[in-house]
C-alpha cells in the first residue's frame, strides 16, 4: 500500500526518465513528459515517440522510471514490470482518457506503457547525504543560481 501512495508522487514531476534494456541487456534511457499514476497504483506513460523503449519492453519487461524535482533535487525511482497497451487492447481507451488531457492535443499517443511498481525508492542529491544540514531551500537557491544564473 505504501508504494501505491508513493507512485502518486510522480504526478508532481514535469519529466521522468524510462530506462529499459533489450533482451541482450543493451540499455536505453528516454525522457517522458506525458505520464500519470492511476488509482490502481500503476504508472502510465504515453508512447509518443518511443520506438526503442517499446521494442525493449517487448523483449524485456523489466523497467526503471525516475523522476526528480530539479529544484529540491529530490525524487523517486520506481522499478517494475511494463506492459504495452495498443489501440486494439482492452484497457487502451481507459488509459488514453487519463493521458490525453495532459497532451492538450499536441501529441498522438500510439500506445500506453503501464508499469506495475515492484519497488519505489527515494532519490536524493548527494548534498543531502554528505551535508545533513542541507535544506530544500538551500537546494532551490543553488538550482536557481545554476539554471537561471541569478542571485
pLDDT (tens digit per residue) in 95-128: 999 999 999 989 999 999 999 999 999 999 998 9
Class of domain 2-148: mainly beta
Which of these, 80, 100, 93, lies nearest to 18 by C-alpha position? 80
pLDDT (tens digit per residue) in 45-75: 999 999 999 999 999 999 999 999 988 999 9
For the segment 16-45, the average pLDDT, to the nearest whole number, is 96
Q: Where are the domains of the chain?
A: 2-148
Question: In the chain, where do the E strands start and end?
Answer: 16-21, 27-32, 35-37, 43-47, 62-69, 74-85, 111-124
Q: How confident is the model at residue 2 (pLDDT cuts 50, 70, 90)?
A: low
What pLDDT, on a 0 to 100 scale, did the predictor assign at position 3?
65
Amino acid at each position: 500500500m505504501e508504494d501505491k501512495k508513493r507512485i502518486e508522487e510522480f504526478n508532481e514531476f514535469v519529466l521522468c526518465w524510462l530506462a529499459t534494456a533489450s533482451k541482450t541487456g543493451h540499455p536505453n534511457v528516454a525522457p517522458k513528459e506525458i505520464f500519470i499514476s492511476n488509482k490502481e497504483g500503476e504508472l502510465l506513460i504515453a508512447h509518443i515517440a518511443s520506438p526503442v523503449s517499446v521494442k525493449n519492453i517487448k523483449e524485456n519487461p523489466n523497467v526503471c522510471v525516475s523522476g526528480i524535482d530539479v529544484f529540491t533535487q529530490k525524487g523517486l525511482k520506481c522499478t517494475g514490470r511494463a506492459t504495452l497497451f495498443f489501440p486494439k487492447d482492452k484497457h487502451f481507451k481507459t488509459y488514453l482518457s487519463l493521458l490525453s488531457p495532459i497532451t492538450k492535443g499536441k501529441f498522438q499517443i500510439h500506445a500506453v506503457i503501464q508499469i506495475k511498481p515492484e519497488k519505489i525508492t527515494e532519490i536524493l542529491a548527494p548534498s543531502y547525504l554528505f551535508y545533513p544540514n542541507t535544506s530544500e531551500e538551500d537546494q532551490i537557491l543553488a538550482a536557481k543560481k545554476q539554471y537561471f544564473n541569478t542571485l
